[in-house]
Amino acid sequence: MRCSRNQALAGALLVVAYTGLIASADGITKLLAGQYAAAQLYALSGAMVAGFCLLADRLPAVRGGFRTKCPRAMALRSGATLVAAVCFFYAFRLLPFAEVFVFIGLMPLLAGAMSGLVLKEPVRPAAWAALGAGFAGVLFLFPGGVASATPGHLVAFAAAVSGTFSMTLARFIGRYESNSLAQVFYPNLTLCLVMLVLLPFVWVPMPLADAGWAAAYAFLLFGARWLLVVALRLLASYAVTPLMNLQFIWMAVIGAVFFGEFPPAATYFGGAIVIASGLYLVWDQFAPAMPRLRNPGRLQTDP
C-alpha cells in the first residue's frame, strides 16, 4: 500500500509540474494563433519535439528506442493528438484564454467515462460525485451560459474529447510498456508530417522572435507531454485530468498579464469548485479500500 501511495504522490506532483508547462505552451499558442496557421506552428514544433525525443533517447538513463508493443493504440493516440492540437489551436484563436478552460474542465468527466469503457477501470461512486461537482463548477466558468455556444465552443469541445481520448490511450499503452518517449515521439512525428503537407499553402515568413517563441513552445510541450505520460502510468486517468484543472490558475494569470483578459468572479468561483473536485479525486487515490469495523470484533473489507 505504501508503494501505491508513493506512486500516487509522484503522479500528482508530475501533473502539477505539467500544468505549469502546458499552460505556458498554451499561452504561446494563443500569441501565435492570430498570426499564423496551425500547420505552420505544428510543422515546426512537431519536428522539434520529435528531435528532442531523439536527443533524449541518447541519454544512457533514458535510452529505450522507439519500439512499441501497441502499434494500433499508438496510431490511434497519434491521430487523437493531431485532432486535439488543431482544435485547441483554433479554440485559442476564437475564444478568450480563460474560456477555453471551460472545456479543459470537462475533461475529467470525459476521462471518467472513457476509463470505464476503454481501460475497464472502476470509478468509485464518491468519485463520480466529485466529477459531477466538477461539471457544476464548469457551468460557473461559462460566461454567457450554454445557450451562447459559438463555433469556437464547438471546436473547443472537440479538442477536449480528442485530447481526453489521447490521454486515455496513453494510460492504456502504459500498461504494456514503460517507454514514455515513444508516446511523445510518434504523436509529434505524426503532427509534423501531416502539417508539412499543408505547410506550402499557408506559409508566412516568421521573424526571428516568433521562431524563438515556436522553439520555446516545442520545448515546453516536450517536457509537458513527457511528464504527463509518466504521470498516467502512476495515477488513474480520472484522477489525473481533474488535477490538470490546476492549470486554470496559470491560465488566469497568463491571460491577465499578457493578454489583458480578466474573467468575472463567477469564473474564479467555478474554478475553485473544479479544482476542489480534482483534489478530492487525488485523495481518493491515496485512500484505497481500508478495513472497516462493521460488527464488534470483526474486521471486513469493502467488496
Reduced to 3 states (helix: H, G, I; strand: E, B; else coil), residue 302 is coil
Distance CA 200, CA 149 (A): 33
Q: Which three cell numbers stand for residue 138?
A: 464548469
**Residue 56 resides in a domain:** yes
Encode pLDDT of 16-50 as tens digits.
888 888 888 888 888 888 889 999 999 998 999 89
Q: How many domains does the chain have?
A: 1
**Residue 96 resides in a domain:** yes
Give 2's pLDDT tier (boundaries 50, 70, 90): very low
Q: 48-72 b/e with 16+ CB inside 10 Å = b?
A: bbbbbbeebbeeeeeeeebebebee
Give 99's pLDDT tier (boundaries 50, 70, 90): confident
**Residue 292 resides in a domain:** no
pTM score > 0.85 for this model? no
**Residue 228 resides in a domain:** yes
Torsion of CA 30, 36, 38, 39, to 10 degrees: -150
pLDDT of residue 287: 61
**Residue 261 resides in a domain:** yes
Residue type at position 54 = L
Give 286's pLDDT tier (boundaries 50, 70, 90): low
**Residue 43 resides in a domain:** yes
**Residue 138 resides in a domain:** yes
Task: Count CB-CB contacts under 10 A for residue 185.
Answer: 26
pLDDT of residue 84: 94
Rounded to whole angstroms, what are the CA distances from 260 to 19, 91, 103?
Answer: 21, 18, 21
pLDDT of residue 260: 77
**Residue 301 resides in a domain:** no
Encode pLDDT of 128-170 as tens digits.
787 788 777 777 766 666 676 788 888 998 999 999 899 899 8
pLDDT of residue 301: 32
266 is in which domain, residue-wise? 21-285
Lowest mean pLDDT of 30-39, 91-100, 104-113, 166-175, name the range. 104-113
Strands 292-295, 298-300: pairing is antiparallel
Averaged pLDDT, 79-84: 95
